[in-house]
Chain A
Amino acid sequence: MSALGLTGCETVPKSAAPAKAAPRVVVVGGGFGGATCAKYLRIYEPTLKVTLIEQNASYTTCPGSNWVLGGLRKMGDLVQSYDALRGKYGVNVVTDRVTAIDPAKRIVMLASGKTVEYDRLVMSPGIDFRWNAIEGYDEAASELIPHAWKAGPQTVLLQNQLQAMPDGGTVIMNPPPMPFRCPPGPPERASMIANYLKANKPKSKILILDSKDSFSKQGLFLSAWNELYPGMIEWVPANKGGKVVRVDPKTRTVFTEVGDEHKGDVVNIIAPQRAAAIATASGLANDAGWCPVNQHTFESTLVPNVHVIGDSAVAGALPKSGHSANNIAKMTAAAIVSLFRGVPLPTPSHVNTCYSLVGPEYGISIAAVYRLGEDGVLAGVKGAGGVSPATASELFRAQEANFAQGWYASITADSFG
Chain B
Amino acid sequence: MAIKDKTRNGVAFAVIALTGLLGAAAAQAQEISRAQIIATTCYTCHGPQGVSPGSIPSINDISAERMVSTLQGFRSGMRASTVMGRHASGYTDEEIKEVAEYLGNLGKKGK
Structural contact, B44 and A410, CB atoms closer than 8 A? yes
List, in ascending order, chain B residues with CB within 8 A of A4's CB. 20
Mask: chain B, 21-47; 1 = CB below 8 Å from A; 0 = not? 111111101111110111011111111
Mask: chain B, 53-73; 1 = CB below 8 Å from A; 0 = not? 111100000000000000000
Structural contact, A348 and B87, CB atoms closer than 8 A? no
Structural contact, B32 and A338, CB atoms closer than 8 A? yes
Structural contact, A19 and B55, CB atoms closer than 8 A? no
Structural contact, A365 and B45, CB atoms closer than 8 A? no
The minimal Cβ–Cβ distance linking B100 to chain A, given in whole angstroms, is: 15
Within 8 A of B (CB), among A392-417: 396, 399-400, 402-403, 405-411, 413-414, 417
The one of A1, A349, A413 in contact with B38, judged by C-beta atoms closer than 8 angstroms, is A349
A349–B99 Cα distance when bound, in Å, is 12
The minimal Cβ–Cβ distance linking A103 to chain B, given in whole angstroms, is: 13
Beyond A341-B26, A343-B31, A407-B56, whether A414 also contacts B18 by CB under 8 A is no
State whether the Cβ of A353 lies closer than 8 Å to any Cβ in chain B.
Answer: yes
Structural contact, B44 and A341, CB atoms closer than 8 A? no
Mask: chain A, 265-307; 1 = CB below 8 Å from B; 0 = not? 0000000000000000000000000000000000000000000
Most buried by B among A19, A349, A381: A349
List, in ascending order, chain A residues with CB within 8 A of B15's CB. 342
Structural contact, A353 and B31, CB atoms closer than 8 A? no
Structural contact, A44 and B44, CB atoms closer than 8 A? no
A340–B89 Cα distance when bound, in Å, is 34
Total contacting residues, chain A, CB less than 8 A: 62
Structural contact, A340 and B18, CB atoms closer than 8 A? yes
List, in ascending order, chain B residues with CB within 8 A of A353's CB. 44-45, 83, 87
List, in ascending order, chain B residues with CB within 8 A of A338's CB. 31-32
List, in ascending order, chain B residues with CB within 8 A of A410's CB. 43-48, 52-54, 56
List, in ascending order, chain A residues with CB within 8 A of B34's CB. 346-347, 349
State whether the Cβ of A326 lies closer than 8 Å to any Cβ in chain B.
Answer: yes
Beyond A341-B29, A410-B56, whether A388 also contacts B82 by CB under 8 A is yes
Structural contact, A383 and B82, CB atoms closer than 8 A? no
Structural contact, B40 and A330, CB atoms closer than 8 A? yes
State whether the Cβ of A217 lies closer than 8 Å to any Cβ in chain B.
Answer: no
Beyond A399-B82, A413-B48, whether A405 also contacts B55 by CB under 8 A is yes
Mask: chain A, 319-360; 1 = CB below 8 Å from B; 0 = not? 000010011001100100111111110111111010000000
List, in ascending order, chain A residues with CB within 8 A of B110's CB. none
Structural contact, B21 and A396, CB atoms closer than 8 A? no
Structural contact, A343 and B56, CB atoms closer than 8 A? no
Q: Which residue of A lies closest to B34 (CB)?
A: A347
Q: Which residue of A lies closest to B17 (CB)?
A: A19
A45–B41 Cα distance when bound, in Å, is 18
Structural contact, B20 and A1, CB atoms closer than 8 A? yes
A2–B25 Cα distance when bound, in Å, is 10
Structural contact, A409 and B54, CB atoms closer than 8 A? yes
State whether the Cβ of B86 lies closer than 8 Å to any Cβ in chain A.
Answer: yes
- 24 inter-chain pairs at a CB distance below 8 angstroms, sorted by A residue, are A1-B19, A19-B17, A20-B21, A22-B25, A119-B18, A327-B41, A339-B18, A340-B21, A341-B29, A342-B23, A343-B29, A344-B31, A347-B34, A353-B83, A367-B83, A368-B86, A400-B82, A400-B83, A405-B54, A407-B54, A408-B54, A410-B43, A410-B47, A410-B54
Given A339-B18, A341-B22: 18 more A-B contacts, CB < 8 Å: A5-B24, A6-B24, A20-B25, A23-B22, A323-B44, A339-B19, A341-B23, A342-B22, A346-B34, A346-B36, A385-B90, A406-B56, A407-B44, A407-B56, A410-B48, A410-B53, A410-B56, A417-B48
Q: Which residues of B contact A (CB under 8 A)?
A: 15-27, 29-34, 36-38, 40-48, 52-56, 82-83, 86-91
The 9 A-B pairs at the shortest CB distance, nearest first, are namely: A369-B90, A409-B54, A384-B90, A406-B55, A342-B19, A406-B54, A406-B56, A384-B89, A341-B29
